[in-house]
Amino acid sequence: MKRPLTATAGILAAVLALSACGSGSDAATDADGVVDLTLGTWALSNAPEFQLLVDEFNSSHDDVKVSVQEYDTDNYETQMTADLSAGAAPDLYAQKTVSAFVTYQAGGQLVDVSDVADGLDEHTTGLGSWQVDGKTWAIPFRQDSWFLFYNKDLFDAAGVEQPDGTWTWDDYADAAQKLSDAGDAEGAYQHVWQSALQGFANTQTPGADLLSGDYDYLKPYYERALAMQDAGAQVDYGTATTNSLTYQAQFGKQKAAMMPMGSWYVAMLLAQQASGEADDFSWGLAPVPQYDESTLDDPVTFGDPTSVGINAAIDDGKVDAAKEFLTFIAGEDAAVALAATGITPAYQSDAVTDAYFSAKGAPQDKLSRQTFQVHDTRPENPVDPKIAAVQTILGDLHSAVMSESTSVDDAIAEAEKRAADEAGITG
């Protein structure tokens, strides 16, 4: 996930079809010869990494100045699409979801930045999610991956052995039950997002394919999750949705001993423990449980990168400066700055790892560091125009199954029928 989808490809396509390629800027430089660029992002309170990147870039570049243009987090795609249509969009804009990116690219709203990508080294990950027809249309600066967060204090109090990096999902379920039986906290928390379950099924199951129209591979994941909630090993989906439970409170207030969650939560947890919003307890990172033991040496997880692209309507005189900014955000200096705040950058190196675990309150154990360094992060979403429709269908499947209003078999059958009828996908 990277996080939940915020707009459908259909809505974006309809608005983008009306847009014209007007200039995003009237002049390439200001009176002092400095190129002024604007960067469109969602609200900085939810994504402080953008201001950090801008500040780091501006402090090291005298001939270019980047400023941030904020959009509402929940309506980012809709508002950005409207500004692109009106010719009022910023010079650069962040790509929040792969499904929206596909629509921007197809609508001619992005500059080909393959030359920037070609100049990057192998340390920058996540480029594949922003490539169409052999060309790169955005540059990643962040690559979140899902890890297993666990509360060491609750494990010790319950007398349950902590994760050691060798767990399958059955091991995870067994530990969750033992933790629930032994203490006041529930053993695990599975957040209500469909990706908190489907993301692992899609990327870990051999042969799984979101665009295949065959979703039987989801069945064992749902059967396990239902068994866990029915046995009290994790809070049930109905309670989580009805009471609008947040994953931050469930783990941060020690209501659950384990939680699979994206690496973005590291920065959030560090900040909340420092402010007192989260309890003070010892925690660590472990690889997410695996489908089977065959991938334990390089644990398979998922996560979509976050990137920045260049508005196709940018003034021609600004393009080189915009590409300079993209090169910077994908490099080691920017990555180290991001990592020092607990944010997982797309650029990976020993220096980045050192910065990541130097953050105040970060875990210092060997497994946490190994989890951060060694994993096979696969894209949550393939780059395809049909992916938004498929995710909507599978989201309905998820809520129907987890609320226990529909059996797993019936929900899968309905999803496969809808995939054929609504997206033209047949198994």
Residue 132: pLDDT band with limits 50, 70, 90:
very high
Task: Identify the domain containing residue 243 by its residue range.
Answer: 146-301
More confident residue, 26 or 395: 395
- Per-residue pLDDT tens digits for 197-256: 999 999 999 999 999 999 999 999 999 999 999 999 999 999 999 999 999 999 999 999
47 with 178, same domain?
no
Instruction: Supply the DSSP string of 333-375, one letter for each residue.
Output: HHHHHHHTTT--BSB--HHHHHHHTTSTT---SHHHHHHHHS-
Mean pLDDT, residues 157-182 taken together: 97
Does pLDDT of 16 surpass 70?
A: no
Q: Which of 301, 330, 364 is the last residue of a domain?
A: 301
Percent of the chain's residues with pLDDT above 90: 86
- Residue 365 domain-assigned? no
Tell whether 266 and 338 lie within a shared domain: no
Residues 205 and 102 in one domain: no
Specify the CATH number for the domain of residue 95. 3.40.190.10
Specify the pLDDT at position 98. 87
For residues 166 and 280, state if they share a domain: yes
Q: Mean pLDDT over residues 80-105, rounded?
A: 95
Which of 324, 348, 372 delimits the end of a domain? 348
Mean pLDDT of 161-179: 98
Specify whether 72 is located in the same domain as 119: yes
Distance, in Å, from the CA atom of 104 to the CA atom of 188, rounded to the nearest integer, reads 38
| Co-location of 326 and 270 in the same domain | no
Kindly give, in sequence order, each residue whose CB lies less than 8 Å from that of residue 198, ignoring residues fewer than 6 positions away: 218, 221, 394, 398
Among 25-34, 57-66, 392-401, the least confident range: 25-34
- Residue 135 confidence (pLDDT): 97
Q: How confident is the model at residue 27 (pLDDT cuts 50, 70, 90)?
A: low
Q: Are strands 135-136 and 131-132 parallel, antiparallel or unpaired?
A: antiparallel
Q: Residue 43 has what pLDDT?
A: 87
Residues 23 and 133 in one domain: yes
Domain identity same for 191 and 297 = yes
* Cα–Cα distance measured from residue 324 to residue 303, given in angstroms and rounded to the nearest whole number: 26
Output the CA–CA distances (angstroms, integers) from residue 197 to 7, 14, 205, 206, in the order listed.
21, 31, 12, 16
Together in a domain, 278 and 340: no
> Are 295 and 312 in the same domain?
no
- Please tell me the predicted confidence (pLDDT) of residue 18: 41
Q: pTM of the entire structure? A: 0.86
The C-alpha angle with vertex 304 and arms to 303 and 306, in degrees rounded to 5, equals 130
- In whole angstroms, give the CA distance from residue 267 to residue 362: 9
